[in-house]
Amino acid sequence: MTSPIGALPSDPLREELDVRTGEAVSILVPVTERPSNLQELYEEFATPFRSSGLGFEFIFIVEPEHWNLLAPLEELRDAGEPIRILRVGRAAGDATLLRMGAERAAHDVFLTLPAYPRIEADALLDVLEPVLRGASMSVARRWPRRDSWLNRLQNRIFHLLAASAAGGHSINDVACGVRAIRRDVFESLPMYGDFHRFLPFFALRQGYQVDEVEAPQHVGDHQPRIYSPSVYLRRVLDVFGLYFLMRFTEKPLRFFGLIGGGSLLTGSAILAVLALQRVQGQSLADRPILLLGVLLLVLGVQAVALGLIGEIIVHVNTLRGGNRVVREIRREPGSEGGSSSG
Amino acid sequence: MKQRTTLSVVVPLYNEEGNVMRLVEGVRAALGDRYAWELLLVDDGSSDGTLREVAVAAGAEPRIRPLVMGRRFGQTAATQAGLEHAVGDVTITMDGDLQNDPADIPHLVEKLQEGYDLVAGYRKHRKDRLLTRKVPSWVANRMIRWVTGVPIRDNGCSLKAYRRELVDRIQLYSDLHRFIPAVAVATVGARIAEVPVRHYRRQAGKSKYGLSRTGKVISDLLVLTMIRSFRDHPLILFAAGGAVAFAFAALFGVTSIIMAVRLGLPSIVFASVTALLAGLGAFLVILGLLAESAVFHAMARKPPPNLILSSPGARAGGGLER
> What's the order of all strands across the beta sheet hosting A2-5?
A2-5, A210-215, A137-142, A179-182, A109-112, A24-31, A55-62, A83-87
Calpha distance A210→A198 (Å, rounded): 12
Contact A254 B216 (CB under 8 A): yes
pLDDT band at A19 (very low <50, low <70, confident <90, very high): very low
What average pLDDT does the structure give for chain B? 86
pLDDT surpasses 60 at B311: no
Q: Which pLDDT value is given to residue A253?
A: 93
Calpha distance A203→A135 (Å, rounded): 12
CA torsion, ordered A217, A222, A226, A232, to nearest 10 deg: 0
Q: Which pLDDT value is given to residue A14?
A: 46
Q: To probe the interface with B, which of A270, A329, A341 has the most B CB atoms within 10 Å?
A: A329
Between strands A210-215 and B6-13, the pairing is unpaired
Q: Which pLDDT value is given to residue A16?
A: 41
Report the chain B residue with the minimal C-alpha distance to residue A308: B223
Q: Which pLDDT value is given to residue A342?
A: 29
pLDDT surpasses 80 at A320: no
Contact A301 B284 (CB under 8 A): yes
Q: Smallest Cα–Cα separation from B10: which of B105, B107, B116, B121? A: B105
Q: Is A321 exposed, middle or buried (0-12, 13-18, 19+ CB in 10 A)?
A: exposed
Q: What is the pLDDT of residues B221-260, one digit of tens each?
A: 888 888 877 877 889 989 999 999 999 999 999 999 998 8
Q: Which pLDDT value is given to residue B319?
A: 42
Q: Which pLDDT value is given to residue B310?
A: 55
In 3-state terms, what secondary structure has residue B67? strand
pLDDT band at B213 (very low <50, low <70, confident <90, very high): low
Percent of chain B whose predicted confidence (pLDDT) is above 70: 89
pLDDT surpasses 70 at B211: no
A13, A285, A330 member nearest B266 (Cβ): A285
Over residues B83-99, mean pLDDT:
93
Calpha distance A57→A15 (Å, rounded): 29
Calpha distance B308→B223 (Å, rounded): 24
Euclidean distance between the first and final Cα of chain A, in Å? 46
Q: Which pLDDT value is given to residue B315?
A: 42
Contact A284 B269 (CB under 8 A): yes
Residue B298 corresponds to which amino acid?
A
pLDDT band at A153 (very low <50, low <70, confident <90, very high): very high
Q: Which pLDDT value is given to residue A12?
A: 47
Residues in chain A closer than 8 A to B270 (CB atoms): 284-285
Q: Is A281 exposed, middle or buried (0-12, 13-18, 19+ CB in 10 A)?
A: exposed
Q: Which pLDDT value is given to residue A336?
A: 42
> Is B115:B312 a contact under the CB 8 Å cutoff?
yes
Contact A13 B28 (CB under 8 A): no
> Is B311:B115 a contact under the CB 8 Å cutoff?
yes
Contact B72 A339 (CB under 8 A): no
> A26-30, B178-182, B188-192, B302-306 — which one is most confidently predicted on average?
A26-30
Contact B51 A14 (CB under 8 A): yes
Q: Give B315→chain A minimum CA distance, Å.
A: 26
Q: What is the pLDDT of residues A173-205, one digit of tens each?
A: 988 999 999 999 999 998 888 889 999 999 999
Q: Is A61 exposed, middle or buried (0-12, 13-18, 19+ CB in 10 A)?
A: buried
Residues in chain B closer than 8 A to A312 (CB atoms): 226, 231, 234, 291, 294-295
Q: How far is CA A201 from the centre of its chain?
A: 5
Report the chain B residue with the minimal C-alpha distance to residue A5: B71
B59, B69, B272 member nearest A326 (Cβ): B69
Residues in chain B closer than 8 A to A15 (CB atoms): none
Calpha distance A179→B292 (Å, rounded): 40
Q: Smallest Cα–Cα separation from B89: which of B12, B166, B23, B159? A: B166
What average pLDDT does the structure give for chain A? 87
B226, B272, B277 member nearest A308 (Cβ): B226
pLDDT surpasses 50 at B317: no
pLDDT surpasses 50 at B87: yes
CA torsion, ordered B162, B163, B169, B173, to nearest 10 deg: 10
Q: What interface predicted TM-score (ipTM) does this complex get? A: 0.78
Q: A4-43: string of b/e by CB count within 10 Å (b at 16+)?
A: bbbbbeeeeebbbeebebeebbbbbbbbbeebbebbebbe
> A337-341, B119-123, B220-224 — which one is most confidently predicted on average?
B119-123
Residues in chain A closer than 8 A to B227 (CB atoms): 311, 315
Report the chain A residue with the minimal C-alpha distance to residue B60: A339
Q: Give A332→chain B minimum CA distance, Å.
A: 5
User: Which residues are paired to A83 by β-bridges?
Assistant: A58
Percent of chain A whose predicted confidence (pLDDT) is above 70: 89
Calpha distance A263→A88 (Å, rounded): 47
Euclidean distance between the first and final Cα of chain B, in Å? 31
Q: Which pLDDT value is given to residue B208?
A: 56
Over residues A225-229, mean pLDDT:
89
Q: How many CB pairs under 8 A join A and B?
A: 199
Q: What is the pLDDT of residues A71-80, one digit of tens each?
A: 999 999 999 9
> What's the order of all strands across the beta sheet hosting B319-321?
A326-328, B64-69, B36-43, B6-13, B90-93, B160-163, B118-123, B191-197, B319-321
B68, B223, B280 member nearest A311 (Cβ): B223
Q: Smallest Cα–Cα separation from A41: which of A140, A128, A121? A: A121
B28, B266, B276 member nearest A295 (Cβ): B276
Contact A326 B54 (CB under 8 A): no
Those residues with Cβ within 8 angstroms of residue A165's Cβ, 6 or more apart along the chain or in another chain: A239, A240, A242, A243, A246
Q: What is the pLDDT of residues B10-48, one digit of tens each?
A: 999 999 999 999 999 999 999 988 899 999 999 999 999
Among the residue ranges A84-88, A161-165, B277-281, the one predicted with the least confidence is A161-165
Radius of gyration of chain A from its Cα atoms, rounded to whole angstroms: 26
A291, A306, A324 member nearest B70 (Cβ): A324
For residue A143, how many other CB atoms are within 10 A of its CB? 17
Over residues A102-110, mean pLDDT:
95
Over residues B108-117, mean pLDDT:
94
Residues in chain A closer than 8 A to B25 (CB atoms): 337
- The values of phi and psi at residue B81, to 5°, are -60, -40
In 3-state terms, what secondary structure has residue B213? helix
Q: To probe the interface with B, which of A247, A311, A314 has the most B CB atoms within 10 Å?
A: A311
Those residues with Cβ within 8 angstroms of residue A285's Cβ, 6 or more apart along the chain or in another chain: B259, B265, B266, B267, B269, B270
Q: Where are the alpha helices (H) located in chain A, listed in sequence order? A: 38-52, 71-78, 94-104, 124-132, 149-165, 183-188, 199-205, 229-248, 252-279, 288-317
Q: What is the pLDDT of residues A198-213, one digit of tens each?
A: 999 999 999 998 999 9
The answer to whether the peptide bond before residue A144 is cis (omega within 30 degrees of 0) is: yes
pLDDT surpasses 50 at A20: no
Contact B37 A306 (CB under 8 A): no
pLDDT surpasses 80 at B292: yes
Q: What is the pLDDT of residues A245-279, one digit of tens each?
A: 999 988 999 999 999 999 999 999 999 999 999 99
B269, B276, B291 member nearest A287 (Cβ): B269
DSSP E strands in chain B: the ranges are 6-13, 36-43, 64-69, 90-93, 118-123, 160-163, 191-197, 319-321
B173, B273, B298 member nearest A290 (Cβ): B273
Residues B134-141: contacts with CB under 8 Å, at least 24 apart? B136/B211, B136/B214, B140/B214, B140/B217
Calpha distance A208→A145 (Å, rounded): 27
pLDDT band at B204 (very low <50, low <70, confident <90, very high): low
Q: Which pLDDT value is given to residue B316?
A: 39
Residues in chain B closer than 8 A to A336 (CB atoms): 21, 56-57, 60
DSSP 8-state class, residue B71: S
Residues in chain A closer than 8 A to B222 (CB atoms): 253, 257, 304, 308
Please indicate whether residue B30 or residue A36 has the higher confidence score (pLDDT). B30
For residue B254, how many other CB atoms are within 10 A of its CB? 12
Residues in chain A closer than 8 A to B61 (CB atoms): 337-340
Q: Smallest Cα–Cα separation from A112: which of A19, A45, A180? A: A180
Q: Smallest Cα–Cα separation from A203: which of A221, A230, A179, A224? A: A179
pLDDT surpasses 70 at B161: yes
Q: Is A207 exposed, middle or buried (0-12, 13-18, 19+ CB in 10 A)?
A: buried
pLDDT band at B176 (very low <50, low <70, confident <90, very high): confident
Those residues with Cβ within 8 angstroms of residue B90's Cβ, 6 or more apart along the chain or in another chain: B5, B6, B7, B8, B109, B112, B161, B162, B163, B164
pLDDT surpasses 50 at A149: yes
Q: To probe the interface with A, which of B269, B287, B297 has the most A CB atoms within 10 Å?
A: B269
pLDDT band at B58 (very low <50, low <70, confident <90, very high): very high
Please indicate whether residue A12 or residue B62 has the higher confidence score (pLDDT). B62
Q: Which pLDDT value is given to residue B206?
A: 64
B219, B241, B298 member nearest A305 (Cβ): B241
Q: Which pLDDT value is given to residue B218?
A: 80
Contact B67 A301 (CB under 8 A): no
pLDDT surpasses 60 at A335: no
Fold of A2-247: Spore Coat Polysaccharide Biosynthesis Protein SpsA; Chain A (3.90.550)
